[in-house]
Chain A
Amino acid sequence: MKNHNKLSHQQKEQEELAAQQSQIPSGKEFSSPEELLRFDAAQTSVPPSIAERLQNSSATVPPPSSPPWWKRMFGG
């Protein structure tokens, strides 16, 4: 449930950002395709259904057995 709240919070932030960016006035110029794609990516919201599906799918998967990188990243 806690994870679900986190994911929902992230989705809300993304939707707010997309709403702000959709208000950008037309007549915009982009210096390169990458800049245009970055703008497009920032406007794209991740469908909330992915997080929900992922939560259900990952619940049936056992956690990884030997995680050396966890120890390095989170203080082992």
Chain B
Amino acid sequence: MNEPVSGCDIRGEPQKEWVAEEFSSLYNEHSRAIYYLTLRYLGDPQKAEDATHDVFLKAFRKLDQFRGEASFRTWLYRIAINHCQNLNNAWQERHIYSGVDDSVWENAAAKTDSPLRVLETKELGQRIQKALDGLPEEYRLLLLLVADAELSYEEVAELVGQSADAVRGKLHRARKTFAALFEKNG
């Protein structure tokens, strides 16, 4: 007779406590990355808190659909991106979005790759958020994903549904625009 898999009952079904324990390990490992993405992508701590909860709950419900072809973090990011985009789309349907100030684009084109200087770290989060809020959603997402050192360009490209070369090109423009907005808000 076959031995049951560790954490499964005699029918091979996972035991609830065991699944919950493994899931809490996964939460501990990835919650900061997911919370940070939702926080800076949505720009609202309360929305980010709700979104992070919803993303992990969706992941818990769909654990059996995770096939292990991508990393668990990539899989979570996919759920988080879809969730945030749905929230943003719903919001934009109710509001008129003015977009980025044209002067920022003009300045961005002339920007060099000089370092970003921070004199006061106290208000840094707000300054970063303002700069991210001024970016087109596509650029904001790219920067946030590339900032996660655990993701390769290929994984980022897959998450945003583009080629790695397209990601590199857009990332270049995203960096310049972010730098211009960051300096402007300094």
Contacts and interface: CB of A to CB of B under 8 A. Distances in A.
Chain A's interface size range is 35 or more
A73 B143 contact: no
Contact of B64 (A24, A34, A49, A65): A65
Interface string A30-52: 11111111101101101101110
Contacts, number: 153
A34 B19 contact: no
A76 B8 CA distance: 10
Contacts of B155: none
Interface in B9-51: 13-16, 19-25, 27-28, 31-33, 35-36, 39-40, 45, 49
Given A37-B40, A44-B125, A70 B7 contact: yes
Contacts of A66: 64
B149 interface: yes
A44 B144 CA distance: 14
Contacts of A72: 68
A3 interface: yes
A51 B14 contact: no
Given A28-B121, A57-B57, A67 B64 contact: yes
A63 B119 contact: no
B32 A36 contact: no
Contacts of A37: 40, 128, 143-144, 147
Nearest to B135: A33
22 contacts: A3-B24, A26-B119, A26-B121, A28-B118, A28-B121, A41-B32, A41-B147, A47-B45, A47-B49, A49-B49, A50-B52, A50-B56, A54-B53, A58-B20, A58-B23, A62-B16, A64-B63, A67-B19, A67-B63, A70-B14, A74-B6, A76-B5
Interface of B: 5-8, 13-16, 19-25, 27-28, 31-33, 35-36, 39-40, 45, 49, 52-53, 56-57, 60-64, 66-68, 115-121, 124-125, 128, 143-144, 146-149, 174-175, 178-179, 182
